Every structure is written in C-alpha cells, then in structure tokens.
Structure 1
C-alpha cells in the first residue's frame, strides 16, 4: 500500500505545549518543540500547511481556550487532523490521564486538560484520519507509574494513530542542554534528515519503527504506537535520505518505474491539487528547466513555475497534462488526474473546500463508538 500525503487544504494541525508552570518544574525545551514542528508542517518537505491551518498554542491559559481551538480545527479538517501535546503528563490517583497547563497541580485533574475531554473533541470531528502525538512526562515518585498499555488504552480513538513518549521521568524526557525534548527531538531529526534505506515518503509506521530503534539505542524510553484503520501509511514528510535509484531494469530488459506518484483521488481542494502537482515534481527529481526540455519545448521553465504557484485552476487541461507527462507520470494515471481537475472545476465557486466532503458520520455511529470508549475507560 502506497504512503499518501494529506490534502493541505482539508488538513489542520494543532500544536499544544506548556513550558512554564506555577507549581511544577518548567520544561523550556517545549517552546522549541512547538516552533520547530510548526516550521516542519508548514514547509515544503512536509504537509505545506498554511499558517492558519497550523495552530500553535504555547502555554494555553485554560482547558476551555485550548479545547475551543481544537474543536474549531476538528470541525474544519476533513482529510487529516493532527494534535500534538508536549509538557507534563499527569495522572490522578485513579489513573486518569490529564495534560498539564501553566497552573496545573499534581493529582488535580481540574487544573489541566483531562484526556477524555480531548478525546471527546476528536470524536466530534469529521476528519477521516487523526494523528495524536503525546510527548508527556510520566516519571517521578509523586506521579507514580503508568504502563504503556494503559496509556494506549486511554488515548484510543477510532480512526486515530497514536504516537506516545511513555517516558518514566522528566530527566529522560527533557535532557538538560538539549534544545528539544528527547522524543520530539528524535522525531524532528527523522523528519529533517530522513531514514537511510527508508521509503521515499516518511509514513507513520516507518517513523514509529525508527523512533523505537533510535531512542532505545540511546538508552532512552522507548515510545509506543497504536493505529486504527490503517492510518500508518499517512506520510508526515519526504525522506531526505531516500536513494533515488527510482527506475530499475526489469528481467526482460525493460524499464520499470517504482516511483511513488501522488494519488489524485486523495485530492479534495484546489490547494491540495497544486500541492500534489508539486509532489509530482519532487518525485520526478527534475528541475523546471529539465521538465521544459522533456516536454520538447511545449512548456517553458517559467510556465512550470507559474503552474505550481497558482491558486486557481487552469481553464484548460493541456498545460497540466504536458507537465505531468514530462515529469514521467505513467500514461495510465493521467486520466485520474484529469478527472480530479474536472471534479474541482465543476465545484461551486468558493466551495472547493466543502463540495467534495462526505456527509458527517451519523450521531448513532458516534454514540456507539463513544459508549465503547467510555466503557473501556471505566475498566482502566
């Protein structure tokens, strides 16, 4: 199964972090986590999100303010919703997980964000895929221990991929002198330097395996992961260490294209269409000039740049077709691209972000899921 990037026009990221506390020890590296991750997710090597689609909540004042932002993003995202939290992860005497805020206290769930509240906000959303990344502190004698299996059970949400740093103490989670916490620092290293011998696209499954290996090799807590509905094939970024031996000879002497071309069927918005066209160029490993040359001069290098930097669909298909062909997209995929272009062209004006969304899940289906999750929580 080929890894896929989300449509940036229908995707949202909410990055939450608490670095300063009134009653707990500060975690200054959390601020760096937020700014570095925002730079990655809004950059061209990852999801290319607009600034408005990547919300950063640094030291949020209250659970209400945080959940308001989360619910807004959850209501808007139809492709993918990513929620990240870094800070003190706290537990009640009964084992309930809550996320630390500036005025949080140990064993006082009312001073933080109960994970059950965050989970309810995710259940109310309409995104097909949800990614939850928890970079929390669990160690310390005052907090007690929480087994990884317990954390996964609490964080479980239908349709969600969970990455969790199940650290046993804050010292391992936020090593002194390092700019990022241990888990997020390793995640950023993977996203910025890649995985040698890894896939062209850094999907969640590949990232999770590399995180476990690299953190274990450093003697740091080994993270855990859980996926629902095969979300592990969702790509967080391109692999900078990927070897571009992309086209190999077949036994019969022909040439076989093994490149992972973007799937136009996953495109929902005009923004997503041009993002996918940009991914085509990255996959082809061709410059604008090389694409022009391969087109036989049908499109100039400047035309390639203009096509990739548009914000409205071209009125005719020809230039896009020539571009895709020159990049090396197989002929059998061109009809799918044209169908995508026609679908977006036929959408009502200013409605490309909503015309193709599916009907919301029924309340009864959500009710059954919520009751199942609530029952699981009562047994934790």
Structure 2
C-alpha cells in the first residue's frame, strides 16, 4: 500500500441530512455534498471516478444510509472514505447517533446508531478508512454537547483516520449567510487554496493541522482527530498551494501565460503535478474532458494519468488528448513532449550510472524462497443555525 489511495480500488460515500421534520434544518449541509464530491473526484483530491463516489442526500431510513456504505465497503480494496454531515444526537447511554429526517431529541430509535455505521464500514476489505463527521452530539438537537466520552472516542475504528468537526463540549456550526457548514467550508477552501509552505502532497495530518489552526483562529469549534497505524500519512490530495516550478493562478483563466511552464519541470513529480494543475485551470470536469477530447479518452484513463507516481514510460495519445482537451495549444503540447523526453532521458541516465550491488555467493543451505522477501503491496437562514 502506498500513501496515496489507488483511485480504482478506493471508494467514497458522502452522507448528509439538511432537512428535518422535528429538528432545525441545516441548509449548509445540502451544499456540502456536491461540492465535496467534486473535490474528492478532482485532481486535487483522490481523483476518483464519479461512479466510485456515492452521494447520499437526505436519507430517510437506516437502510438508505447504511446500504450504500456497506456496498462501498465490500468493493473497496485500498481506502474507504465515509463522510456524514447533519445533526448528531445522544441517547440515554451517551452513544452517538446520526440524525435522519424524522429524528427526535431523546429518541435514539429515530436516528442511526454510529456503532451500526461503524459495523458497515468495517465489514469490507479496505485496508484503510477515513471517517469525517461534521456534526455535534448532545442531549438536545441544538445547544452545547456534554457527556463522559468524546465524539472521536465513540466513533473509533482501529486502523482508521477519524476527523470530527467539534469537541464534545461544543456545537458544530452551520453559520447563517454562509454557503457551507463551518467545518466543511474550511475543508473545501483548503483543497482549493492549498496549504502554503507544505509539500506537493497533503496528508491527513497536514489537513487536520491546517484546519485546526484556521478554525481556532476564527473562534470556531476546534476539530478532533484519532489516527492509528500511520493513517495520518495517508495522502488527502495534491497541495494546490504548493509552489516550486510555477504558481497556481489566482483565477482560472485558460491563457497561455497561465499554463505551467514545462521547460521548468525538474522531475517526474512536477510533471504529474502540473497535469493536475492544467485540469484545474481549464475548469473542466473529467467527464467534460472525456467528452471534449478530439480522440477517445475515457475518464478512467484521465484518472490514472493524474494519479501516477512516476513519469509515463511512453509519450501516448492519452497525454496529448488530455492536454488538448484542457485547452493547451498544439505548439505548447510540443513543449510538454520535449519536457517528457528530457526528464525521461535524465531518469534513464541515472539508472545506467547506478553501480550494481555485489551479488553474494549462493548458499546451498538456504532455499531460493528464503533468499527473497515479497514486497506487499447555498443558502441563508433568517434565524441562527448554530449547531448540528
């Protein structure tokens, strides 16, 4: 397993409830879901194909919430992301429940026990789990939270990275006049703007540290995390604020001066990173790029190209079609090809100059098997919407 999720073997399920019969509505949640789905599937997220990211808006029953999670858990082999935004409630035993449309304060049977969601998540074969909870929990639907255990403690899954939007003693916010909930809005902003001073890739620990700092500085609820088995090193996405060989433009204008300069790429990682930046500058989704391509170009091919760890071994029609669909002119594409040839030649030269390790004499007392180790692989509300 690498630090970056394999987009073909990973899945995401985004759950959200914004409308309630007996609790205060949370309009920001409705806008959270499509925006986060686009970000997770985009070049600065995991690059998932759309069919691998399920958006479950306004689930009205336990089955409607849990069945998509169960299906995703069974098909994911690398990483599973589960996100929930809505009202968080506590039953009399202080156990976390996730609100549904008809949930009521003090009636745990009207909401989904988090323990059941946790069971659905862990019944699959994914190697890693990322759980993001944008909710508060309390004895009341609105107001401060209380209880002997923290939200993160109650939501724990061994081997996972859990990020909770608020501490156990405070609410999560859906501020009036803001498009998104406070936590998810900052998460989306971080994916769009990046983290200045951080590396090319943002890990879950990078993301959490930045969100905690920014939200605390704005006097908003301080998020929590729980991580184990080095899950914090899992890559959340490319850092849009990373500056090395070029700067990401302040606004997305597909002009020649805005494109990354291939003559300045220093290594394969910059070449791959620049491919993602080009897509961002174009403002087009992977589906639109596929439809606009002058030659056949599938969304899966785009996803694989943007999520490579190394330089493509051959200059293919896929690279040319992708750059052309993004709006790169033909003469500029030739410069990209020249950059690929330069970096490829440098890589081959580096490999040819490596001194081979001395091969030890065979040991007849050891079997061949013992000499090798396998490497495993928008909205506003006239009333205050302070918590959920």
- Cα displacement (A) at 1:327: 4.5
Equivalent residue, structure 1, for 2:223: 223
- State the 1:306 CA deviation: 4.7
299, 319, 324: which is aligned to 1:304?
A: 319
CA gap of 1:106–1:279, structure 2 versus 1, over 3 A, is same
Structure 1 residue 261: deviation in Å? 9.1
CA contact (8 A) 1:325 1:331 kept: no
Structure with higher helix content = 1
SS in 2 for 1:8: coil
Distance 1:165 1:333, change over 3 A: farther
Equivalence for 2:306? 278
Spell out the pairing of 1:192-203 with structure 2 (5 A cutoff): 192-203=192-203
Classify 1:308/1:73 alpha carbon distance in 2 versus 1 (closer, same or farther; 3 Å). Answer: farther
Q: Which residue of 2 aligns with 1:123?
A: 122
Equivalent runs, 1:123-272 vs 2, <5 Å: 123-138=122-137, 145-146=145-146, 150-166=150-166, 168=169, 170=171, 173-244=173-244, 259=269
4+ residue segments displaced more than 2 Å:
2-5, 137-150, 167-170, 256-262, 270-281, 302-309, 322-335
- Once the two structures are TM-superposed, the CA of residue 237 in structure 1 deviates from its matched residue by 1.6
Q: Which deviates the most, 148-157 or 216-225? A: 148-157
C-alpha separation in 1, matches of 2:323 and 2:48: 15
Q: What does residue range 80-119 of structure 1 map to in structure 2 within 5 Å?
A: 80-119=79-118
1:18 aligns with 2:17: yes
SS of residue matched to 2:82: strand
Identify which of structures 1 and 2 has the higher relative contact order when contacts are C-alpha pairs closer than 8 Å and 6+ apart.
2
Rounded Cα–Cα distance in structure 1 between residues aligned with 2:94 and 2:269: 47
Kindly tell me the number of residue pairs found equivalent between the two proteins: 296
Partners of 1:20 and 1:191 lie apart in 2 by 27
> Runs of 5+ in structure 2 lacking a partner?
247-265, 273-297, 325-337, 353-375, 377-388
- 1:280–1:324 Cα contact (<8 Å) kept: no
Distance 1:333 1:39 in 2: 39
Secondary structure in 2 aligned to 1:152? Answer: helix
Q: Deviations over 1:22-61 (max 9, x none)?
A: 0100001001100100111122222221221110111101
- Give the conservation status (yes or no) of the 8 Å contact 1:12–1:73: yes
Q: Deviations over 1:122-177 (max 9, x none)?
A: 2211001100000002367667634695222211111210010125555x511110
User: CA separation in 2, counterparts of 1:127 and 1:238?
Assistant: 22
SS at match of 2:207: helix
* Alpha-carbon distance, 1:235 to partner: 1.6
Separation (CA, whole Å) in 1 of partners of 2:24 and 2:153: 27
Preserved CA contact (<8 Å) 2:89 2:139 = no
Q: Secondary structure at the match of 1:10?
A: coil
Please give the per-residue CA displacement for 1:183-216, whole angstroms capped at 9, x wherever unaligned: 1011111011100111211110000000110000
TM-score (norm 2): 0.67
**Structure 1 contact 211–223 (Cα < 8 Å) conserved:** yes
Structural RMSD (CA): 3.8
* 1:260 Cα deviation from its structure 2 partner: 8.1
The TM-score, its normalising length taken from structure 1, stands at: 0.68
Which deviations, in whole Å up to 9, do the C-alpha atoms of 1:297-330 show, x marking residues without a partner? x948x56325899xxxxxxxxxxxx997654584
User: How far does residue 272 in structure 1 lie from its aligned partner after superposition?
Assistant: 7.8
User: How far has the Cα of 1:274 moved from its partner?
Assistant: 6.3
- The SS at the match of 1:13 is strand
Assess if the C-alpha contact under 8 Å between 1:132 and 1:161 holds in 2. Answer: yes
Q: Deviations over 1:352-374 (max 9, x none)?
A: xxxxxx9xxxxxxxxxxxxxxxx
CA contact (8 A) 2:73 2:126 kept: yes
What is the rounded CA distance, in whole Å, between the counterparts of 1:82 and 1:159 in structure 2?
13
CA shift, 1:278, in A, is: 2.6
User: Matched residues in 2 for 1:13 and 1:151: separation?
Assistant: 21
Q: 1:134 to 1:123 in 2, by over 3 A?
A: same
Contact residue 3 and residue 233 of structure 1 kept, 8 A: no
